[in-house]
Amino acid sequence: MSEVQHGLEGVIAFETHIAEPDKEGSALRYRGVDIDDLVGRVPFEKVWGLLVDGGFEPGLPPDEPYPIPVHSGDVRVDVQSGLAMLAPVWGLNPLLDTTEEDARNQLARVTAMALSFVAQSARGIGRPMVPESQVDKAGTMVERFMTRWRGEPDPRHVKAVDAYFTSAAEHGMNASTFTARVVASTGADAAASLSAAVGAMSGPLHGGAPSRVLAMIEEIERMGDARAYVKRVLDGGERLMGFGHRVYRAEDPRARTLRRVARELGAPRYEVAEAFEKAALEELAARKPDRVLATNVEFWAAIVLDFAEVPAPMFTSMFTCARTAGWSAHVLEQKKTGRLVRPSAVYTGPGGRAPESVDGWN
Ligand code: ACO
């Protein structure tokens, strides 16, 4: 292939047994299992096990209490740097030198620590860790996560977060998963792969949209008229957050699942969100009849996380917790290929020329 594929769109770089969105059919399956059959029915640690191991055993070890090493005031920064530090702290071997079983166990430990770091960082600077005696070791992964964050979590919030984690656990070859695979392909350790993926996810083009959905919902609540708001936004040439998708040409299946979760949980903003969605879909269909502009995951994720009282600046880190599952599965799959990822670029710079003298150098 000699043509440049900007953004690698359409380039098939890997084979995977894990998942790939069904773009036309509006479905997402993890190793063949539809997410709608998992969300709200199977706890996140088993979904991690399904993605990484292919079975339904709880995939994650009991998490280890370990104080977060960095407290910068920014959860993402704390988690990314905390994960990077695990390699020397735990003496992790590079993936190149581990067995598959060791690599898998490293990924499980690193994932458990990522959730612990998010919980600890979310408590805020100066608030001590929740005593371990308060954490129910027999509880689910999300129960332990929420306890470490809040002390005594509301069980309905635990359900909402578990549902969100499962629905966002994996989504094929997105930017952060690709990053995790590239780092794994160099033979680096599991913590290096996952911390690099956290960095890739931090950009607004990947991990940062649901908070903007909430801002729109708040504005509709102020105006009291979803239809008028939608028209105002579109007439102003702006986009409606939570609609459209680069991959799906049908409804994002995760939106469907999270809409069900929001309804079942009785999310307080369910009705205003539904009115917004209805007005937006009608207006978008009328204005763009040739293009399917349906609801995407960010829309209903915002409502479910809002129900769980997750503050908007935390949304990306919640996404990080969820996606540790997909990243881990892909890192392990990449290790099995044993192939370094090393694409090419077409050189378009100046032709051969003599070096210019630079002040201070002879
Ligand atoms: N609101 C209004 N118009 C839209 C929207 C929207 N949400 N999405 C696309 N359009 C319009 C565009 O203005 C464009 O119209 P034009 O042809 O007249 O210029 C047309 O539809 C095609 O838009 P593209 O940007 O080419 O569509 P693409 O598929 O590349 O974009 C994207 C996908 C970026 C998600 C886009 O739909 C968008 O900006 N949505 C709003 C932000 C959002 O919800 N992001 C979260 C996505 S989900 C996720 O990333 C996990």
| Atom of ligand 1 lying closest to residue 246 CA | 29
Q: Answer whether residue 13 is part of any domain.
A: no
Contact 166, 44 (CB under 8 A): yes
Q: Answer whether residue 120 is part of any domain.
A: yes
Residues of the chain above pLDDT 70, percent = 97
Residues 298 and 333 reside in one and the same domain: no
Q: Quick one: pLDDT at residue 219?
A: 97
Candidate list 71, 277, 298, 330, residue with the active-site label: 298
* Domain containing residue 133: CATH number: 1.10.580.10
Q: Is the CB of 199 under 6 A from ligand 1?
A: no
Query: What token pair was written down for 88?
Result: 């020397």
Query: What token pair was written down for 250?
Result: 């049908």
pLDDT band at 1 (very low <50, low <70, confident <90, very high): low
What is the number of other CB atoms lying within 10 angstroms of the CB of residue 48? 28
The pTM score is 0.94
Q: Tell me: the pLDDT tens digits for 274-321?
A: 999 999 999 999 999 999 899 999 999 999 999 999 999 899 999 999
pLDDT greater at residue 58 or residue 167: 167
Contact 113, 82 (CB under 8 A): yes
Q: Quick one: pLDDT at residue 32?
A: 97
Q: Quick one: pLDDT at residue 358?
A: 63
Angle at 114 between CA 161 and CA 175, to 5 degrees: 85
Q: How far is CA 306 from CA 31, 177, 217, 312, 349, in A?
A: 29, 26, 11, 8, 49
Instruction: Name, in order, each residue with C-beta under 8 angstroms of 132's C-beta and a sequence gap of 6 or more.
Output: 65
Query: Residue 128 sits in which domain range?
Result: 19-204+313-337
For this structure, is 6 an active site residue?
Answer: no
Q: Does 67 have pLDDT greater than 60? A: yes
Q: Does 59 have pLDDT greater than 90? A: no
Would you state the torsion angle of the CA atoms of residues 202, 135, 263, 258, taken in this order, to the nearest 10 degrees? 30
For all residues of the chain together, what is the average pLDDT?
93
Please name the residue that has the structure tokens 């999270």: 258
Residues 55 and 182 reside in one and the same domain: yes
Q: Does 362 have pLDDT greater than 60? A: no
Residues 244 and 269 reside in one and the same domain: yes
Q: Answer whether residue 68 is part of any domain.
A: yes
CA separation for the pair 146, 355 (Å, rounded): 59
CA separation for the pair 73, 77 (Å, rounded): 8
Q: Quick one: pLDDT at residue 221?
A: 97
Please name the residue that has the structure tokens 């630079």: 358
3-class SS string, 84-127: HHHHHHHCCCCHHHCCHHHHHHHHHHHHHHHHHHHHHHHCCCCC
Candidate list 143, 245, 277, 283, residue with the active-site label: 245
Residues 285 and 319 reside in one and the same domain: no
Q: Quick one: pLDDT at residue 64?
A: 74
Q: Is the CB of 239 under 6 A from ligand 1?
A: yes
CA separation for the pair 21, 24 (Å, rounded): 9
Q: Radius of gyration over alpha carbons of the chain, in Å?
A: 22
Residues 87 and 196 reside in one and the same domain: yes
Q: Is the CB of 49 under 6 A from ligand 1?
A: no
* 3-state secondary structure (DSSP) of residue 347: coil
For this structure, is 298 an active site residue?
Answer: yes
Diameter over CA atoms, the chain? 74
C-alpha 245 to ligand 1 mean position (Å): 6
Is 0.90 exceeded by the ipTM?
yes
C-alpha 319 to ligand 1 mean position (Å): 21
Would you state the torsion angle of the CA atoms of residues 77, 83, 89, 95, taken in this order, to the nearest 10 degrees? -150
Q: Answer whether residue 247 is part of any domain.
A: yes
Q: Which of 122, 137, 36 is nearest to 310 (CA)?
A: 122
* Domain containing residue 298: CATH number: 1.10.230.10
Angle at 254 between CA 250 and CA 255, to 5 degrees: 70
> If you average pLDDT over residues 312-336, what whole number do you get?
96
Instruction: Name, in order, each residue with C-beta under 8 angstroms of 76's C-beta and a sequence gap of 6 or more.
Output: 198, 202, 316, 317, 320
Q: Quick one: pLDDT at residue 210?
A: 64
- Ligand 1 mutation target, pool 243, 281, 290, 323, most atoms within 8 A of CB: 243
Sequence length of the chain is: 362
Q: Give the count of domains, the chain.
A: 2
Cα distance between the two ends of the chain: 43
> If you average pLDDT over residues 261-267, what whole number do you get?
97
Q: Tell me: the pLDDT tens digits for 141-161?
A: 999 999 999 999 999 999 999
Residues 332 and 256 reside in one and the same domain: no
Residues 147 and 247 reside in one and the same domain: no
* 3-state secondary structure (DSSP) of residue 357: coil
Q: Quick one: pLDDT at residue 2?
A: 73
- Ligand 1 mutation target, pool 258, 288, 315, 319, most atoms within 8 A of CB: 288
Residues 243 and 127 reside in one and the same domain: no
Residues 79 and 39 reside in one and the same domain: yes
> If you average pLDDT over residues 68-76, what whole number do you get?
91
Contact 201, 316 (CB under 8 A): yes
What is the number of other CB atoms lying within 10 angstroms of the CB of residue 154? 13
Contact 70, 78 (CB under 8 A): yes
